[in-house]
Structure formats: structure tokens, C-alpha cells
Amino acid sequence: MNCAECQEQLVPYIEQLLDEAQAEQVARHLQECPSCQAELEGLQTLQARLVSNGKAVAQSDLEEDVMNRIIREQSVRLKSATQASASLRLRRLIMNNPTTRVAAAAAVIVACVAGMMLWQGTESIALADVLAKVEQIQAYMFKSTTTMEDPTMGTSTTESTVLLSNDYGMRVDQSSVDAETGEESQVEMYVLPQEKAIVMLHLSEKQYARVTLDDATLENSKIENRDPRAMLKHLLACEYRDLGRSVVDGYQVQGFETTDPKFLGGIARNHRMTLWVDVDTWLPVRSETETEVSEGIRATGAEYDFQWGVAVHASQFEPDIPDDFTPHQMNNFRQPSYSEQGFIEALQLAVEFTGHYPDGLSHDSLRSLTMEITQAITTGDSPAAQQWREQIKAAGSKEAAIRMGQERMMKLTSLTMFNLLLAGQQKDPVYHGDVVTPADVELPLMRWKAADGQYRVIFGDLHAETVSADLLAELEAALPQ
């Protein structure tokens, strides 16, 4: 045995992993070779030091302290969790769904347009010029940072770069960091209007998902994105404050602020949006939002680094799915329909499980609705609940069951989304779920403007009709106070 061979065997030798013959060979070489002997002693000294340090460290016992802290914190968390769990479930559903995330991204665009229209209140700025300008912009880019705080799910921060093009659609490069674990996840998202699809690449998990959009939803979002005028008018209805001139990110700007709940269609409890507009170009420079979604759940965000009128190429909007990516559980998911039909189906779902309509269409109302439905699914004895439980059992796998549940619960998001879309289109939606029951065949549950002097009405028994404004007035007069 030579020295190199011997040194290679030293660790197995000390660890007593060699068979007798091998150990014998090493021992013999060591007796004859002082340098290998020295190497062995060096190793043994280090090992002894490690062992004694290991013993010293092992004297600390954290077990009881850790377990006590966990029990204490858990009881605190449980209190807020029972209040928040249903809303969390819904939020998870929403956050897991690319389309609803897109809706969140779309809110950013709304915010920009909102800012533009806010100027109408000041004499110095001509809204028509701004609109003309915005309509000429074919593609633009900006960055955004959003922090979500949640008592049970912790805090996470998402940074995105958003690229929008009238011709190709939208691309978002997003990375999120969980504040407690430091875990990072990266997502690339493509909204492709021509293909009626959203494609997401989860880079860290090496997964992809392609989600098909419903025609009605796509049509609605087209209206949303292509007619800023409609949104401008809608947003003009909000109350706002002029913050005057100042300097932001190096630009001379004028600031505007709104806390009007109408701005988010009444979904959130509290909302504040501040927008800074370049006084030379009349284009947004920075916007900041602060939203209290519901008890304890807060979101703060900022949009900045706007680049108006950037050059884009079709290839930037073509998702490239690497060969080793596998389908995400949302792959081939069907986006719920944010249409009259989808809205009615969501109301049906609510009634099947709870026997009544949700009080309102805010996030808080949806939260109590999901809580009630969840309760009904787990313990309720309505035919719908029993059927659901059987279907879950029959699903075959945990994944299939989760997917089925998600697809159904996602329908509920139609309640808020459809209402938001209508409000965004200035269609004057009004919902009466607090007083109308499934037995009220003659009473209007939900209504919105269909055409001049015409209203679309969904009645208590969920049939829909188009009626004149006069008839609607009569119908609404019959509502219980």
C-alpha cells in the first residue's frame, strides 16, 4: 500500500468501516510510515475536538421551550385562523388561479388610467389630450412591488416586471419571497388574447400550466383594456383629493389620492390609492396602493419605472416551455365564466349549500359565504353536500379531488368579478341579496344597464329578463326595506 492509498482509507479506517484484511493493510502501512501516522493523529485530534464540541452543544435543550412557544402561538393563531380560514381558502384559490392574478395585474392598469382621469378635476390638464396620448401608446412597461400581509399565511413580497402590448398581449415576470422562510419562487406569465389562453411557467418548480379563457370573459376584458374612456368615466365617479406638486423619482409631478371604496368596486374594507403624474408628459410616474382586504389581511403595493411606448417583438410574448417541465395542477384548467351565466351558476352553488344568497358581493361577504359552504360540505346533510362528499371519495386521487373542489369553488369568484366588470363598464350594477330569497320570483336580485333605458334583471328564482327602466323602478319599489 502506498501513502495515497493509505490516506484515502484513513476515514473508513477510523470509522471502522474496513474489513479485517483492509484494516490490517492500513495498520501495517501506518506503522512503517511516519507521515501517514502524523496525518492520522491530526485527524484524530480534529475528531476529538469535534466530538467534545458536539457534546458541549448537545447540553442545550430547546425542546421544551420550542414546544411551549409553538403551543402558545398556535392558540393565538387559531383564534384569528377560525375567523380567517375561509377567506384564506378563497384567497388561496384566487392566488392559485392565473386569471384572478391577472385581474390583480389589470387593477394596476386601471390604477394608471384612473390617475389620468383624476386630472379632469384640475383646470391645468385637458383630459382629451391625455386620452389621445394614451390611445397612441402601443406598448409599455413598468415594475411593481406588492407585499401581502396575512396573520396565518405570513408575509410575502412579490416583484414584477409587466410588459403590455396592444398587438400581442401581456407578459409578467414575477418573483416572490416568503418573509419567514426566505423561499423564493419565480413565475413567468403570458396573457395571450389571440389564443384565448393564459400560460404560466413556474420556474422554481419546473411546472407549467395553460388555462383556457371563456369567451365572455375574454370579451369583457377586451372592453376593459381597449376602452380606457369607459373606465375614465367610471373612475371619475370616485372622490379624490389633489395633493399638489412635488418631486417623485426625479420628476416634477402632481399627486392625486382617492380613498373612495367605489374605486375597487366595494370589495375591500379600506383602500387608498395615490398617483403621481409627470407634469410635463401627463403620464403616470408612480402609484401606490394600500388595501385592507379583510380583517388582518393587508396589501401594499407600488408601480413605478413606467416606460411608455416601448418597442416590442412577437417573440417576447411566446412562452417557451422547457422539455423537463411537468404540467402544474392548474394545467388545462377552465377559467370560470365572468358572465351572466357564470354569475347565476355561482348564486346557484351558494343556494344549494346554504339555502340563501350572499348578503353582498364584497370580499367580506364572500368570506362568510365560503365559510358557510365549507362547513356545509364537511358536515351538512343537504343533498348537494352529500353528493359533493361522494364525488370527492370517487375522485380516485387526492390531486383529482383538490382539482375538482377548486374548479367548483372558483366559480364563486364570478360573484365579485362579474360585478366588478359591470361597474368598470359603467353599467350601474346593483345587488339585493340581503333582502331577496330564492322564493322571490318577482323580486330583482341583481340588475345592470343593458342598453339605453333597458335593464337586465336576475330575479330571486334566478331567471333573467330584460326590462325597461320604468318597470325596474316598480320592481325595486317592491323590495322590502
Q: Does 244 bind other proteins (CB under 8 A)?
A: no
User: Torsion angle of alpha carbons 199, 203, 208, 212, nearest 10°?
Assistant: -20
CA–CA distance, 377 with 59 (Å, rounded to integer): 50
CA 474: distance to chain centroid? 41
Q: Are strands 270-278 and 169-178 parallel, antiparallel or unpaired?
A: unpaired
If the CB atoms of residues 324 and 452 are measured against other proteins, the closer one turns out to be: 324
Find the binder of other proteins among 46, 394, 469, 478 (CB under 8 A). Answer: 46
Find the binder of other proteins among 34, 54, 322, 480 (CB under 8 A). Answer: 54
Find the binder of other proteins among 19, 20, 21, 57 (CB under 8 A). Answer: 57
Cβ contacts of residue 389 below 8 Å, gap of 6+? Answer: 377
Find the binder of other proteins among 49, 206, 222, 241 (CB under 8 A). Answer: 49
Q: How far is the CB of 320 from other proteins (least distance, A)?
A: 24
If the CB atoms of residues 2 and 136 are measured against other proteins, the closer one turns out to be: 2
The grid coordinates of residue 111 equal 390604477
443's enclosing H/E stretch is none
- Concatenate the DSSP letters of all residues of 56-75 into one string: HHHT---HHHHHHHHHHHHH
Footprint (CB under 8 A) of other proteins, residues 167-206:
178, 180-183, 205
CA–CA distance, 144 with 205 (Å, rounded to integer): 23
Q: Does 65 bind other proteins (CB under 8 A)?
A: yes
Of 64-72, 118-126, 281-289, 414-422, the window that binds other proteins (rule: CB under 8 A) is: 64-72
Is residue 164 within 8 A of residue 143, CB to CB? The reply is no
Q: Does 50 bind other proteins (CB under 8 A)?
A: yes
If the CB atoms of residues 34 and 182 are measured against other proteins, the closer one turns out to be: 182
If the CB atoms of residues 178 and 340 are measured against other proteins, the closer one turns out to be: 178
Q: Does 61 bind other proteins (CB under 8 A)?
A: yes
446 CB-contact burial (10 Å; exposed 0-12 / middle 13-18 / buried 19+): buried
Q: Does 149 bind other proteins (CB under 8 A)?
A: no
Each residue 248-287 as x (binds other proteins by CB under 8 A) or -, in order, gives ----------------------------------------
The grid coordinates of residue 359 equal 348578503
Q: How far is the CB of 96 from other proteins (least distance, A)?
A: 14
Distances (CA, A) of 27 to 21, 22, 23, 43, 97: 10, 9, 6, 15, 65
* Residues making contact with other proteins (CB under 8 A): 8, 10-12, 15, 17, 42-43, 46-47, 49-54, 56-58, 60-63, 65-67, 69-71, 73-74, 77, 154, 178, 180-183, 205
